[in-house]
Structures are given as structure tokens and as C-alpha cells.
Structure 1
């Protein structure tokens, strides 16, 4: 039997996920560990507000958390993305095996995914609908487990367990819009920036697209809060504050 802590009489998040019996048992054990890790960082459990960002070339996924909208986000943990599908650059057509780049949110929780657990992104977003193939832009982009990918963001199962529980906790606490930002590189990492510069040297369109992502990265790095992001009629991203 797994001993599970409860708060204020609420059922553990793991029991509300709706996963299989085996996965639920794993999540129950994970939840107690997460609660302790949150407490050590001064974070409330379940999470109140979550922000996820991923870096393709650097193969990393970060989970940021804050207790309320008056605080700055705090980095909870950085996870290794175990497989990279495609190359630097946005997703533009079904079957290109590209991981999207841009600004998304979690649109679906799938506790019975064929890839252990999965969090669906709202690709194509409004920018993608303008810039991607009009008839077959593709879809079905997830953060998921099982460490396989044909255009998603894959993690090891023990990692997606954590990310899923954190995101689900925030959802149950009322965060209906959990942002997920996907960048080609860490813009403050010299090795990553050098690689991107060489890779995009002759690609003006790619340079233009990436130039629209960087202000959001820079804003968050400086302020540790998220900016308002708009989309121009041309499909470009625009920081509104």
C-alpha cells in the first residue's frame, strides 16, 4: 500500500488524473516527492501557476512555478529532452517531423496515452495558421513519455510523471491557460547561438521568424514574468508590453 499525504482533505492529484492503476500507483509515490521538493523551494502544492518552456537545440524543458500572479516565476526543474525530431525552425506542414517553435498552451491532458502520459499543445496556433500550409499544417503535438518522437517533445517516463502532475495540479487549482513556449535555442548560450548563426546563415525567412521569438525570451529572462504576446496580420509575434 502506498502512503499518500493529503492537504485540506483533498484527494491526491494522482488519484484525479484518470490514468491506469499501475501509472496511478507510480504517480502517488511521485506526488509525495514533488510536494516535499516544492516545500523546500517555498512553493505551494499543488502548483498555482505553471509556465513551461523548451529549447530544441539544447534539448531541455524547463518548468517554472509561482504561488500567485504578484510573484515572479521560479525555476522548479530542468528536464532533459531525450530525442530531437527534425531540425531548427518552425513546423509548417504535416509530416515534416518538425517540433513547432512559438508560443502555445496545453490544450489537452491525456492520462492514457500510448506514450505513457501526454500533454497536447494547441498547434497550429493563430500564427501557424497564417504561416503554415493552409490545408495540411499538421497537428497532434505533445509533451509525452516513452522517449520517442516524430515531432513531439519526449521525456523519460519518470520525468513526464512530474511534469504532468505539476501541470494537472495547476489546472485543478484553476489555471486554465498553461503556457508552453518552444524556442530553437537558448539565446544566452554561446555554443547554441554560434550553431544557430551558422545554421541560419543563408535563410532570411528563418532569421526573421527567430527574431520574433527572441523578445519574448529576453522579456522573461529580465522580468521572470510573461509578456502579453500578439500576432500581426502577417503571422509575426509581437510583444505588447
Structure 2
């Protein structure tokens, strides 16, 4: 059955056109390209490709895993199935786990994307780059916005997946060679994490869980077939490896047409789901690492986007973007960012003036409070001195009577004698 299943996967991939081979008509990837855009893959990788039955120019696929910080390159073998050929540590990606919602939210996208020759950027200011194709049909159908989301070098990210320059040279070479071999487009699959039963159980209470469950279907199809899934969008959701019965097109916002899948795929996926459910239920009872921070939907995306707009205008903003907490409060760092515009300098001057006024007011209030406290102390001390003088002017017997009256109770003879003796000693009697 596995052989039939693999053949079904290959058929679906061909129908989807994700790895269709044809003449590459866009020559932009080679026009005026800098030298590093034409560097060849290292001999070690070329030897590994040969050992796995891969041609230098055979089709590729890229997979990204945020939590693990990995970017994988998979390449087609002579039998039509794909195998991993290289894995790279992502140097930087911005935002949190979860999809990109809006322009400026600094989220690196998650989903299934398509890269064509025109999206390759040999002259990128980030050494080398390729645009992953965000927003795709799913993103647009769900009102998500953003632009210029790349995989690039320079190890600096504001919504992209950034690699080191050496890494991007190899990744770029994989795509360049595949296009030269006739691949018209390659797939980029971007996930929050490896979609295992244990990881899905860890994030079962996350607000992005339903979105991730949808992505997992495509993830599972690739894991089972080792062929890039045919990806479509209807009813504002992803559908994978579906073949319309009457050849009707998929409309991203319209109803999904009647469709079918090869029986071998359905049987294999059903069998896999049974084992997955058992593993998922087992993972619920085990101790697992705490989930990583995730974006809290469009509300947090809009908060970060506003921070981005202010920063772009040169306004004074915290160094790091704000974060929305589960209880609805917002956390942001106190340290402010650099001033890089006339508006930023104006705001800094206003802040400095307000800070000086606040400090002066606090110092004035403190001085007034200190003066009042000193006056009260002086008043108490003056009253005490006057009282002492009054007592000193009296005879010992009068002093004894005053003390007894102030105590509220008559002194016994013994106590009176002791007090009288003490007073006589004080006044020289």
C-alpha cells in the first residue's frame, strides 16, 4: 500500500503544479547578479545529493520551524519523492509563534507559500534573499496584510526569516539551481513548531490552535507522502490534495467545490490519525516543556503595528515592541529607543521639559513638607521648654502637686516622699 500511496502523492503533486517542470522564462535571477549569487554548493553537499539519488537541478522544497529555529531544504530524488538534504539554524526571526496578521506586526508568516523566479533577490541589501510570497490566497481571504516578507541574509529580522550570509548563499543556490533545471516554483512550508502529537498537546489551549490544526493536515500529508501537497484555499481555509470532481476552480472566499482524494491517501491518513490520537492523549498526561509566547490574535498585532508606525515616524517608543498579556494588560519595556528624526527630537525635548518640571515640583513639595515638619517640631519643643520653665519656677511642694494632678491620681505618702526628695535635689533644696 505504501507504494500505491507514494504514487498517489506524486500524482497529486503533479496535478497541483507545485513542482511542475517547464522552461524558466524569468531570467531576473541571473541578470546583473553579484558574484555571491552564483556561488556553487559546497562539494560536501554535492556528494550528499549524489548519494541520495538527487540531481543538482532537481526540484526543492523549504520547511521552516520557528520554535526549533530551523530551516530545512528538501530535494526531489530520482524516484520522485523528496528527502532532506540540508538543515540550517535560523539566525533571527521576529515576533512570536503564530501567524502574521497585519502590516507592521513584526510577525514572521506561518502557512504554505510559493516562490517563483521573480521572487529571487540577488541584489538584496541583505546579501541575498527571496520573497516567500506573503500574503498568499489564504492570507488575503482572511484580510491579512503585509509585504516584502523574505528569507534573507545579514542576520537581522523585522518579520522575516534571517540567516547568516553563508547560509543564505547555500539556500539561494538550491533555489537557483532548481529553477535552472526547470522547476517553475517551489513551496515554502512555515510552521510554529514540528507538529508532533507532543507539541500539539502542549499548545492545545493556545488561541492559534485551530489555525495550527489546519496547517497540520498539510504537514501530515507531506510527512506521509514525501511529496509537496497540492494546496488550495476555499471557505477562507486551506485544503490539501483535493481534486475537484467536475474540474471546478477553488475560490478562496467561496464554497469549497465537491472534491475527492485517492483512496490510498485517505486510508493511509486515517491509519495515521488513529496512532496520532493515541500519542496525543498520552502526551496530555506527561510532563512537557512550557509553551513559548504566542501572538494573541489581531488585537496584539494591531498594538505592535501602531508601535511600528510610531517608530517609523521617528517618534520616541520603547526599544522592544509591546506585548499583550492573557489578562488583557500590556507589557512594554521602560527603556526608550533612539531618536532618529526631527519629530523624535521634538518629543524628547518635550519629555525632558516635562521631566524637569515634575522633578522641580517634587522637590518643592518635599521642601514645603520639610518646613512644615520643622515648624511642628519647633512648636512642640517650644511648648515643652515653656512647661519645663513653669515647673522650674515652682516650689518643690507645688511641683509635686502639679505632677500628681497631671497623673490623674493622688500619690501615696511613700511615692510623694520620693518625688519630693528628687525635686529638692533638682532645685538644691
TM-score (norm 1): 0.80
5+ long unaligned stretches in structure 1: 1-14
Check conservation: 1:142, 1:152, Cα contact below 8 A. yes
**2:149 aligned residue (141, 146, 150):** 141
**1:226 aligned residue (210, 225, 228):** 228
Check conservation: 1:110, 1:119, Cα contact below 8 A. yes
Cα RMSD, aligned residues only: 2.1
Cα distance in 1, alignment partners of residues 47 and 31 from structure 2:
20
Cα distance in 1, alignment partners of residues 30 and 133 from structure 2:
23
What corresponds to 1:210 in structure 2? 212
Q: CA deviation at 1:155?
A: 1.0
Cα distance in 2, alignment partners of residues 125 and 142 from structure 1:
14
Compare the two structures and name the one with the higher helix fraction: 2
Matched, 1:163 2:171: yes
Matched, 1:131 2:132: no
Cα distance in 2, alignment partners of residues 103 and 82 from structure 1:
21
Compare the two structures and name the one with the higher strand fraction: 1
CA deviation digits over 1:97-118, x for unaligned, max 9? 0011111011411111011100
Residues 77 and 24 (structure 1 numbering): CA distance in 2 closer, same or farther, change over 3 Å? closer
Pick the structure with greater CA Rg.
2
5+ long unaligned stretches in structure 2: 1-28, 243-260, 262-429
Check conservation: 1:31, 1:165, Cα contact below 8 A. no
Cα distance in 1, alignment partners of residues 83 and 31 from structure 2:
25
What corresponds to 2:187 in structure 1? 179
Equivalent residue runs for 1:54-65 within 5 Å: 54-65=64-75
What corresponds to 1:150 in structure 2? 158
Matched, 1:20 2:27: no
CA deviation digits over 1:97-146, x for unaligned, max 9? 0011111011411111011100111111011001134xxx1110111111
What corresponds to 1:238 in structure 2? 239
Q: CA deviation at 1:41?
A: 2.8
How many positions carry a matched residue from both structures? 212
